[in-house]
């Protein structure tokens, strides 16, 4: 099987960027300098360690994703399950990476670059933007090196998975059977019992509200909040901190003088009387004679442009009167360029010999070389040199910045005094941060602010990159633990919730009564009328029918059997988040017309069927790899 995978793995599955970022990888960045070297493993897979740092990073990413999806939910009770799921995912990915490497699968640099350039998140007006790419990674606390390692690993495991899918074979008979089932239709009708029918009939007591509050307190919490003190180090604030020597500016000017120079350009016409390189002397002499005759015509008053159209042998521009357009140094052969440089505007040259023959040249106009003076570019040079100095100073200071924060973990004072920086403070914020705040909208800052080291141990944080030449260290100032909202504040919300639940229960109970009555061979119309309900018009639906919006009913219809003639099969179905209930009736089944055509190997249904089977094969392969692997986990390090 693995050889088949290797032979056939040529593509990759569609994948989402968020999915990629949750996969464990070793990242490199400025933070790397300031972390303790001790990094325990949370698991070993065939002798390869999965580090505690990677695990913690991935747990935090999973938490951010959950908070983004369920903004009002306290995920604290899910902590253990999140950690277990993350560890399981890391082990699965490591097994797949090891297997792919053993089978010789590789992701080329060209493929990696192509895939990254395809990400819409990194594009501007449909094209890849390096600036957007850098900004997006910085916003996630990633570096290009680390992120590209992530994507290479994801592509590698997807290549292995797709190899499994491509190794699956579906016969024509299986495809045709699947297609018959897919195209089968069922005639259905249904009674809708809306929960809103009972909304005004149910009551909620204070005791019920109290009970619900006690049983679902986690749903009514004030989020945990912190405030932090922080210290920033910014390269742009170092730019003007030192004076720049004038001699250095002049040195930079001389070094970059070429970039401040606009080279001379010429606009000319010519008439070419061609001579082959191996032509005999008499042929060359005849061409020179003709050139002089043509020149005499022009100097006698003939129009150069018209004469070029008549006599020039340069097929590329003769029809345009010999117009060569604008050109710069090095674009023409040397004898031609030397002649042009010696001319003034409107001059017409004597015959000029080149490897192509004899030229008569008319200089239409010229633009002289322009060199911007030192005084003109001084401000630009000054800004550039100051930026260079700031970069050098920043990278010299950033390591000291991190070391001071790490070596004096219980206070920012040493860092502040040594580097003469300013301490700033935030107000209280929760794990979602504060939108558009330059500090508290950065995901990595929020992750660090609520990390165990800062929140529980009270240490200074690691160094966090906010952007280009912009880093920060923070420490806890105040902490408010999550706590239940007062019952009085949520009482009406709870009342609405319980009323909805009761209305849903009433709708379901009535639906079951209707179902029981129908299954006792009662008259369908009479049963509906008795409860002031009406059957929906019957209609034919397919298993996947985009025109039929009640997806739950269509799914239930195809789970039931085939009704006998002049009878129906009934089933109760819960409908959507509103809590409505429906009694479904399947009245008839219609098979698709028999198709004797040979199955198309590119048929979409067949490919989908292969993918479904391939997915099962992938899961089975992973299960087998786990059974054969040596896996150790260290629960006390999670």
Q: Is the pLDDT of residue 82 over 50?
A: yes
Least confident among 74-83, 98-107, 241-250: 74-83
* Per-residue pLDDT band at 604 (split at 50, 70, 90): low
Note the pLDDT tens digit of each residue in 407-451. 999 999 999 999 999 999 999 999 989 988 999 999 999 999 999
Are 318 and 343 part of one and the same domain?
A: yes
CA angle 199, 200, 205 (to 5 degrees): 90
Once rounded to an integer, what is the mean pLDDT over residues 195-199? 91
Q: Has residue 39 been placed in a domain?
A: yes
* Lowest pLDDT segment from 81-85, 473-477, 580-584: 81-85
In this predicted structure, the answer to whether residue 315 has a pLDDT above a threshold of 80 is: yes
How much of the chain is in helix, strand and coil states, percent to nearest 5?
Answer: 50, 20, 30
Q: Are 465 and 262 in contact (CB under 8 A)?
A: no
Banded pLDDT at 108 (limits 50, 70, 90): confident
Query: Residue 281 has what pLDDT?
Result: 92
Considering the domain architecture, whether residues 475 and 505 belong to the same structural domain is answered as no
The last residue of a domain, from among 481, 498, 524 = 481
Q: Is 25's pLDDT higher than 50?
A: no
What does the pLDDT read at residue 299?
94
Residue 96 pLDDT > 60: yes
Q: Model confidence at 12, in pLDDT bands (50, 70, 90)?
A: very low
**H, E, C per residue of 468-537:** CCEEEEEEEEEEECCEECCHHHHHHHHHHHHHHHHHHHHHHHHHHHHHHHHHCCCCHHHHHHHCCCCCCC
Same domain assignment for residues 16 and 120: yes
Q: pLDDT tens, 128-158?
A: 888 888 888 877 767 788 888 888 888 888 8
pLDDT at 600: 53
For the ranges 231-240, 479-488, 549-558, the lowest mean pLDDT is seen at 231-240
In this structure, the number of other CB atoms found within 10 A of the CB of residue 60 comes to 20
Q: Return the pLDDT at 561.
A: 87
pLDDT band, very low/low/confident/very high, at 611 (cuts 50, 70, 90): low
Range of the structural domain that residue 424 is part of: 225-245+385-481
CA–CA dist 238, 218 (Å, integer): 48
Supply the DSSP symbol for 560.
Answer: S
Grouping H, G, I as helix, E, B as strand and the rest as coil, residue 363 is strand
- The three state secondary structure string of 158-181 is HHHHHHHHHCCCCCHHHHHHHHHH
Q: Specify if 620 maps to a domain.
A: yes
Q: Is residue 256 part of a domain?
A: no
Question: Rg of the chain over CA atoms, in angstroms?
Answer: 39
What is the sign of the dihedral through the CA atoms of 502, 507, 508 and 513?
positive
Same domain? 123 vs 62: yes
Given this model, what pLDDT does residue 614 score?
Answer: 52
562 plus 509 within the same structural domain: yes
In sequence order, the β-bridge partners of residue 574 are: 581
Q: Say whether both 26 and 92 belong to one domain.
A: yes
Mean pLDDT of 298-310: 95
Tell me what pLDDT residue 219 has.
87
Which range has the worst mean pLDDT, 57-61, 269-273, 397-401, 472-476? 57-61
Q: pLDDT by residue (tens digit) across 491-524?
A: 999 999 999 999 999 999 999 999 999 988 768 8
Q: Which of 270-284, 307-321, 327-341, 616-630 has the lowest mean pLDDT?
A: 616-630
Instruction: Examine the domain organization and report whether 216 and 233 are in the same domain.
Output: no
Per-residue pLDDT averaged across 379-393, rounded? 85
pLDDT in tens, 534-554: 999 999 998 877 888 888 998
Residue 115 lies in a domain: yes
Residues 6+ apart with CB under 8 A from 181: 543
- Of 368, 403, 420, which residue sits at a domain end? 368
**How far is C-alpha 142 from the chain's CA centre?**
13
Query: pLDDT tier at 603 (50, 70, 90 boundaries)?
Result: low
CATH number of the domain within which 95 lies: 1.10.4030.10
CATH of the domain at 285: 3.10.50.40
Tell me: do 171 and 66 sit in the same domain: yes
Task: For residue 352, give the DSSP letter.
Answer: E
Distance, CA of 604 to CA of 356 (rounded, Å): 62
Domain membership of residue 257 (yes or no) is no
Q: How far is CA 177 from CA 348, 595, 605, in A?
A: 86, 11, 11
pLDDT at residue 9 in the model: 35
Shared domain for 571 and 543, answered yes or no, is yes
- In 3D space, the residue among 84, 139, 105, 83 whose CA is nearest the CA of residue 2 turns out to be 105
What letter would DSSP give residue 461?
P
Contact (Cβ atoms closer than 8 angstroms) between residue 107 and residue 159 = yes
Are 466 and 322 found together in one domain? no
Task: Count how many domains the chain has.
Answer: 4
Q: What secondary structure does DSSP assign to 85-140, as a single string?
A: HHHHHHHHHHHHHHHHHHTT----HHHHHHHHHT-GGGEETTEE-HHHHHHHHHHT
Convert the pLDDT of each residue in 157-183 to its tens digit. Answer: 887 877 665 554 455 555 566 666 677
- Domain contains 376: no
Residue 375 falls within a domain, yes or no?
no
- The answer to whether residues 448 and 516 belong to one domain is no
Based on the fold, state whether residues 63 and 150 are members of the same structural domain: yes
Residue 530 covered by a domain: yes
Per-residue pLDDT at 333 exceeds 90 = yes
Cα–Cα dist 392/241, whole Å: 12
- Number of residues written out for the chain: 638
Return the SS3 of 188.
Answer: strand
Q: Return the higher-pLDDT residue of 601 and 298.
A: 298
**In percent, how much of the chain has pLDDT > 90?**
48
């Amino acid at each position: 099987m693995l050889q088949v995978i290797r032979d056939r793995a040529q593509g990759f599955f569609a994948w989402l960027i968020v999915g990629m970022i949750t996969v464990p990888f070793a990242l490199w960045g400025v933070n790397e300098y300031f972390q303790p070297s001790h990094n325990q493993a949370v698991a070993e897979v065939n002798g390869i360690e999965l580090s505690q740092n990677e695990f913690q990073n991935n747990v935090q990413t999973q938490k951010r994703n959950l908070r983004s999806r369920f903004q009002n939910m306290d995920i604290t009770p899910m902590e253990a399950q999140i950690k277990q799921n993350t560890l399981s995912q890391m082990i699965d990915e490591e097994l797949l990476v090891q297997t792919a490497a053993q089978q010789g699968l590789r992701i080329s640099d060209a493929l990696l670059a192509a895939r990254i350039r395809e990400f819409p998140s990194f594009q501007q007006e449909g094209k890849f933007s390096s600036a957007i790419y850098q900004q997006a990674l910085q916003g996630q606390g990633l570096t290009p090196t680390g992120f590209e390692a992530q994507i290479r690993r994801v592509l590698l495991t997807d290549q292995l998975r797709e190899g499994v899918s491509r190794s699956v074979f579906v016969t024509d008979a299986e495809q045709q059977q699947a297609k018959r089932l897919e195209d089968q239709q069922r005639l259905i009708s249904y009674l809708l019992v809306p929960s809103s029918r009972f909304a005004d009939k149910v009551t909620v007591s204070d005791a019920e509200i109290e009970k619900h509050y006690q049983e679902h307190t986690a749903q009514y919490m004030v989020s945990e909040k912190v405030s932090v003190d922080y210290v920033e180090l910014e390269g742009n604030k170092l730019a003007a901190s030192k004076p720049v020597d004038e001699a250095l500016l002049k040195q930079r000017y001389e070094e970059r003088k070429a970039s401040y120079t606009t080279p001379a350009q010429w606009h000319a016409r010519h008439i070419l009387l061609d001579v082959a390189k191996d032509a005999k002397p008499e042929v060359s002499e005849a061409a020179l004679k003709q050139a002089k005759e043509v020149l005499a015509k022009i100097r006698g008053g003939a129009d150069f442009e018209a004469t070029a159209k008549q006599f020039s042998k340069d097929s590329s521009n003769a029809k345009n009167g010999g117009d060569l357009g604008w050109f710069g140094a090095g674009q023409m052969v040397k004898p031609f360029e030397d002649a042009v440089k010696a001319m003034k505007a409107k001059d017409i040259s004597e015959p000029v010999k080149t490897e192509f023959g004899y030229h008569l040249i008319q200089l239409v106009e010229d633009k002289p070389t322009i060199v911007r003076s030192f005084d003109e570019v001084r401000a630009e040079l000054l800004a550039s040199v100051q930026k260079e100095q700031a970069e050098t100073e920043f990278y010299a200071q950033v390591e000291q910045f991190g070391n001071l924060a790490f070596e004096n973990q219980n206070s920012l004072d040493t860092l502040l005094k040594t580097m003469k920086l300013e301490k700033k403070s935030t107000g209280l914020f929760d794990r979602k941060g504060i939108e558009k705040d330059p500090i508290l909208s950065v995901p990595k800052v929020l992750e660090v602010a609520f990390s165990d080291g800062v929140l529980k141990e009270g240490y200074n944080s690691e160094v966090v990159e906010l952007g280009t030449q912009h880093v920060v260290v923070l420490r806890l100032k105040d902490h408010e633990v999550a706590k239940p909202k007062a019952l009085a504040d949520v009482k009406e919300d709870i009342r609405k919730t319980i009323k909805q639940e009761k209305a849903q229960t009433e709708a379901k109970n009535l639906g079951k009564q209707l179902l029981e009555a129908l299954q006792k061979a009662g008259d369908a119309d009479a049963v509906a009328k008795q409860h002031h309900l009406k059957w929906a018009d019957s209609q034919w639906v397919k298993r996947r029918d985009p025109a039929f919006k009640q997806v739950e009913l269509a799914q239930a219809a195809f789970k039931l059997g085939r009704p006998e003639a002049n009878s129906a099969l009934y089933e109760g179905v819960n409908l959507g988040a509103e809590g409505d209930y429906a009694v479904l009736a399947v009245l008839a089944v219609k098979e698709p017309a028999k198709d004797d055509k040979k199955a198309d190997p590119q048929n979409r249904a067949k490919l989908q069927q292969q993918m479904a089977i391939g997915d099962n094969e992938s899961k089975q392969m992973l299960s087998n790899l786990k059974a054969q692997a040596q896996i150790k986990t260290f629960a006390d390090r999670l």
